[in-house]
């Protein structure tokens, strides 16, 4: 019995352990109601392939997706022609105070991270992609020609959903970081 209790307490301590931060990783910027400064950064990176991660800081599937993206996409594809935007969304009970800790999952220098305090990105994406359920977990690709002209972000050319199977969301494949990395390579190849 003591061994079972010790194992349970050990599991809780591991789960509560802080995510370590590399010395050069960045924090996040809070978006305004017009999705600035993300909108300007997105348009400023015209000509590059752009990866947008729409994730919640309180969602296990989103956090796994962000972590796997760092490992299997950003950690394996070394291209200055790839820009990355991580949009931490107020979904699944998330608040700004949850964001700082999870930004340490994506440490690639090409990534800029944002807190979508006013759902300026989250609400239009939920509507555009017909998302249901409490979580985000969407990984989107844009080519160099994409421009953010209106209030809503442009429709992605390709996207995968970390919750497609779990939440029964149709319309995009289940997110798989290794397979998504192949799509990124295809976009970079033109």
Mean pLDDT for 58-66 is: 96
Residue 31 has pLDDT above 50, yes or no: yes
**pLDDT at res. 3:** 38
Mean pLDDT for 100-120 is: 97
The CATH architecture that domain 25-189 belongs to is: 3-Layer(aba) Sandwich (3.40)
**pLDDT at res. 26:** 54
Give bridge partners of residue 102 from the DSSP assignment: none
Structure tokens at 110: 């090409």
Strands 158-161, 138-142: pairing is: antiparallel
Look up residue 52 and give its DSSP letter: E
**pLDDT at res. 14:** 30
Q: How far, in Å, CA of 144 to CA of 42, rounded?
A: 10
Q: How far, in Å, CA of 102 to CA of 56, rounded?
A: 9
**pLDDT at res. 134:** 84
Q: How far, in Å, CA of 143 to CA of 139, rounded?
A: 14
Q: What is the mean pLDDT of the chain?
A: 88
Q: Quick one: CA torsion of 115, 121, 123, 127, rounded to 10 degrees? A: -150
Per-residue pLDDT tens digits for 143-182: 999 999 999 999 999 999 999 998 888 878 999 999 999 9
Mean pLDDT for 84-109 is: 96
Classify 44 as helix, strand or coil: helix
Is the N-terminal amide bond of 147 cis, ω within 30° of 0? no
Q: How far, in Å, CA of 166 to CA of 122, rounded?
A: 20
**pLDDT at res. 170:** 80
Taking only Cα atoms into account, the Rg of the chain, rounded to an integer number of angstroms, comes to: 17
**pLDDT at res. 171:** 79
**pTM of the full structure:** 0.85
CB atoms within 10 A of CB 64: 16
Mean pLDDT for 44-54 is: 98
- How does residue 43 score in pLDDT terms, banded at 50, 70 and 90? very high
**pLDDT at res. 132:** 84
**pLDDT at res. 50:** 98
Q: How far, in Å, CA of 78 to CA of 107, rounded?
A: 14
């Amino acid at each position: 019995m003591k061994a079972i209790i010790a194992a349970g307490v050990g599991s809780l301590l591991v789960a509560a352990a802080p995510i370590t931060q590399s010395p050069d990783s960045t924090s996040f910027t809070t978006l305004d109601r017009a999705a600035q400064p993300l909108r300007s950064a997105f348009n400023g990176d015209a000509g590059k392939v752009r990866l947008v991660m729409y994730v919640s800081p309180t969602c296990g599937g989103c956090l796994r997706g962000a972590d796997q993206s760092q490992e299997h996409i950003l950690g394996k594809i070394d291209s200055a022609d790839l820009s990355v935007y991580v949009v931490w969304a107020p979904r699944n009970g998330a608040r700004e105070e949850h964001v700082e800790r999870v930004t340490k999952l994506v440490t690639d220098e090409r990534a800029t991270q944002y807190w979508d305090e006013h759902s300026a990105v989250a609400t239009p994406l939920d509507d555009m992609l017909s998302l249901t359920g409490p979580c985000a977990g969407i990984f989107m690709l844009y080519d160099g020609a994409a421009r953010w002209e209106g209030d809503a972000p442009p429709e992605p050319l390709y996207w995968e959903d970390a919750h497609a199977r779990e939440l029964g969301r149709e319309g995009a494949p289940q997110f798989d970081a290794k397979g998504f990395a192949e799509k990124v390579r295809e976009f970079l190849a033109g």
